[in-house]
Amino acid sequence: MLKRLLIIFIGALAWLPVSLTGQVPIGKWRTHLPYQFCTLSEATDSKVFCAATGGLFFYSLEDNSVEKISKIDGLSDNGVSAMSWWDESEILILAYQNSNIDIIRGESVVNIPDIMKKQIPGDKSVYDIYYIGQKAYLSTGFGIVVLNLEKDEISETYIIGDNGEALKVNQVTSDGTYLYAATDQGIRRGLLSDPFLVDFNAWALVNDIPDAGGAFSTIATFNNTLFTSHDDPSDQQDQVYYNTGSSWNIYPYFTGKICHEILNQGDYLTLVDDSLVNLINDDLLVVQQLTTTQPRSAAIDDNGDLWIASFGGGLITNQGGNKWSIMPNGPSSISVFDMEASQNILHVVQGGVTAIWGNRYRSASLQTFKDQHWTTRSNWNERDLITLALDPSDPMHVYAGSWGYGLLEFTEQGIVRYTETNSSLQTLLPGNFVRIGGVVFDPEGNLWMTNSSVSEPISVLKPDGTWKSFACDNLISDYNTLGDILITQAGHLWVIVPRGYGLFAMDDNFTLDDTSDDIYKKVSVEDRFGKVITNDVRSFAEDHNGNLWLGTNQGVLVMFSPYRLFTDGELFAQAILIPRNDGSGLADPLLGTQIVTTIEVDGANRKWLGTAGGGVYLVSDDGQQEVQHFNSMNSPLLSDNIIDICVDGISGEVFFGTDKGIISFMGDAMTGSTLFNEVVVYPNPVRETYEGPVAIKGLVAQTTVKITDMGGNLVFETESYGGQAIWDGTNFRGDRVATGVYMIYLSSPDGALSHVTKLLFIH
């Protein structure tokens, strides 16, 4: 059994969160998750924890602060499916959506990954956690798992279905004599004292309750009374029953349609329906009700205040006598399909397509991260935004392409939609079938886009507001899907033709309105001998040297000097070969067995490579060296399935869009400047308590950086990654430098530009 001990947050805080209003240190992570769709709440003696569809956060009852918590802060996973606080032992157990489990006790976290790693057919999710003494009973998709909290290990598993078959257990409870399980096939019970509960024969169906063989979603004991709810399979009208010891009765004060939760909270029982949280006393009477939007779970703190997880309203409470809510800032959804950044502003669209490029019908929402704050703009009449382009002169002027609903233009004044009625765009069929797969600006401010399954599949919106479309010699008119698009440094347009059809390239010879000199090419991804390597291209990017990097179903390929397609009439691709260094003389293609879903080039011309299932790789500018490999096991990365990567060239922050949301990493490379007119050294001064790196920003790409003491002795020398250089505060011997003022001398690669600045270092 794998265990690991980490400093965490129960009791006195042992960690400090990264300030969302200040500088994020190099090498640090932060999550960008939604917190309004809350599903679980749990009150401890000092905090109220709340789990949302995106992330987990807590409200401090002591200082009224709100903190987000994730793998960055010591948790083992993301996405909480069940959590429970055991006041007697001061234990918080978190079960995650992948069945991983954390036991949090004091300032330690013990990870129990057994269920997650166990090869169990079918559903192995954890739905609820119930304590009896030093045991925690986990309700799972296959039965009941017993955690021994003295040894922090799984001690028993009860498979209680008929004939020993797996059976989904939604919740368990006990009256001191029996252990009751609310399952999808009735309520089962076994004697708590029976040493053979692992035998399915020790469990009997409770058959004197109405709908005895049906699905029961909740169960709880309170004041010698057993409560449970029958789950209406049509989600029209659940029924709550109670039994004081003689027979089952309908609980008359349940007035909702859906019962989400019934919990014994000590002095009270809480019953959560689709609009109300009911507080029930020892006489089984409702003594308080709190109405809120889509409540899912409720907790009571030591002062008797309610804390409600609202699916859409955040964490809602009546603390202080008034109803108010807590909702950490974040995007509106974990869904992400495309991200673009400019001038320290990030934009995200959450649309998507199926594996065969069908519609997902996600609402047309533009999520924006500006000034360390997320906002969302939505147009509920449109769907499936899948591609973005930002106006180079105004990062808040955004164009988003929809897979079916045309082009949407977002400005501070509103949203404009372009379809076949007001542009050169064409529709596949009458209705919402204007399919835009890629949009991009060229240096002259023209906005180019792909338009699938139509006779003129390339359209352009000019800066003057006029439109033009191109038939492209009918080379790509018959393809059902046209994807991403880019404009190279040579002025050529390249398009991905998804689902195994390679690429398309176009040269308009810088005469946009004169098509007589246009050249169109349908391109197969071939090697130097004319053999197709693969035409399944998933992503591409042009690097600072003008080379075209392709992410494919067979790793990474490169087309060097792609302009040769139009000058020489031919172009081939090649793999980046990595020597094995085992004496064999053999080499393997870069990520040759992985699907590369996205490629992003940073300020140092290094490549960030996102994969389907393998996490993220950062490789050197030539691809020969692996600089970083992040996955969900060795880093806080939310998921190994990477949908998009975006580098903020101003800050160096790298945003990873995954199938579980967005997380970012503060990288060490920025876009280079043209002059040394905005050089910043951070931090300055370097305090004696600071142990992180010193960043020198605002540099020309590949700046030579020399740091000397006031006596002119050289203590450090490096070359910048794009527009930023990093110093760890040590000299050439690896010793931390002494207290004093240090001179920083900067020189551009050709020596034509130079700059000098100072840094105070306190040892």
Residue 471 has pLDDT above 70, yes or no: yes
pLDDT-derived band at 753, boundaries 50, 70, 90: confident
Q: What is the pLDDT of residues 604-652, one digit of tens each?
A: 999 999 999 999 999 999 999 999 999 999 999 999 999 999 999 988 9
Q: Residue 494: what pLDDT?
A: 98
pLDDT of residue 674: 82
State how far the Cα of 330 lies from the Cα of 6, in Å rounded to an integer.
26
CATH 2.60.40.3080 residue ranges of the chain are: 680-761
Mean pLDDT of the chain: 93
Q: In the chain, list all ranges with CATH 2.40.10.480.
A: 1-10+31-114+303-323
Q: For residue 89, what is the DSSP state?
A: T
Residue 341, beta-bridge partner list: 346
Using one digit for the tens of pLDDT, what is the confidence trace for 650-660? 889 999 999 99
What integer pLDDT is reported at residue 485 of this predicted model?
A: 98
Backbone angles phi, psi at 515, to 5 degrees: -85, -5
576 is written with which tokens? 């980046």
Please give the model's pTM, rounded to 2 decimal places: 0.90
Which residue blocks in 92-154 are alpha helix, DSSP H?
Answer: 114-117
Residues 6+ positions from 1 with CB-CB distance below 8 Å: 112, 114, 153, 154
In this prediction, residues 18-41 reach a mean pLDDT of: 80
Q: How confident is the model at residue 10 (pLDDT cuts 50, 70, 90)?
A: very low
Mean pLDDT of 483-487: 97
What confidence score (pLDDT) does residue 670 get? 85
Mean pLDDT of 107-116: 94
pLDDT category, 8, cuts 50, 70, 90? very low
- Which pLDDT belongs to residue 11? 36
* pLDDT tens column, 568-601: 998 999 999 999 888 888 899 999 989 999 999 9
Closest by CA to 85, choosing from 120, 121, 56, 45, is 45
Question: Given a cut of 50, is residue 15 above it in pLDDT?
Answer: no
* Res. 9: pLDDT tops 80: no
Q: How far is CA 667 from CA 331, 371, 590, 661, 732, in A?
A: 22, 19, 22, 19, 24
Cβ neighbourhood burial of 264 (10 Å; 0-12, 13-18, 19+): middle
pLDDT value for 635: 95
Quote the CA–CA distance of 399 and 392 in Å, as a whole number: 11
Of 390-404, 577-591, 631-645, 729-743, the least confident: 577-591
What CA–CA distance (Å, rounded) separates 114 from 101?
Answer: 8
pLDDT for 23 equals 62
Q: Where residue 102 falls among pLDDT bands split at 50, 70, 90?
A: very high
Other CB atoms within 10 A of residue 216 CB: 30
Predicted local confidence at residue 380, as pLDDT: 82
Which residue in 398, 460, 397, 391 sits closest to 425, CA to CA? 460
Model confidence at 451, pLDDT cuts 50, 70, 90, reads very high
Q: What digits encode the pLDDT tens for the residues 190-240?
A: 999 999 999 999 999 999 999 999 999 999 999 999 999 999 988 899 999
What average pLDDT score do residues 513-517 get? 94
Q: Is 543 helix (H, G, I), strand (E, B) or coil?
A: coil
Measured over the CA atoms of residue 398, residue 399, residue 404 and residue 405, the dihedral's sign is positive
For the cut 90, the answer to whether the pLDDT of residue 5 exceeds it is no
**What pLDDT score was predicted for residue 96?**
97
- When the candidates are 2.60.40.10, 3.40.50.620, 2.40.30.10, 2.40.10.480, the CATH number that belongs to 1-10+31-114+303-323 is 2.40.10.480
> Distance of CA 506 to CAs 411, 463, 517, 569, Å?
30, 20, 11, 13
* Cα–Cα nearest to 505, from 513, 490, 514, 516: 490
> What distance in Å separates the CA atoms of residue 459 and residue 447, rounded to the nearest whole number?
8
Tell me which architecture the domain covering 680-761 has in CATH.
Sandwich (2.60)
Mean pLDDT of 105-113: 91
Alpha-carbon distance of 398 to 387, in angstroms, equals 10
How many alpha carbons lie under 13 Å from residue 763 in its C-beta half-sphere?
11
- Is the model's pLDDT at 669 over the cut of 90? no
Please tell me whether the peptide bond between 685 and the residue prior to it is cis, using omega within 30 degrees of 0. yes
pLDDT at 4 over 50: no
Q: Which pLDDT band holds residue 6 (cuts at 50, 70, 90)?
A: very low
Query: What distance, in Å, lies between the first and last C-alpha atoms of the chain?
Result: 43
CA distance 368 to 180: 48
3-state DSSP call for residue 435?
strand
Distance (Å, whole) CA 680 – CA 682: 6
Mean pLDDT, residues 350-355 taken together: 92
* 298 pLDDT above the threshold of 50: yes
Supply the pLDDT for residue 719.
92
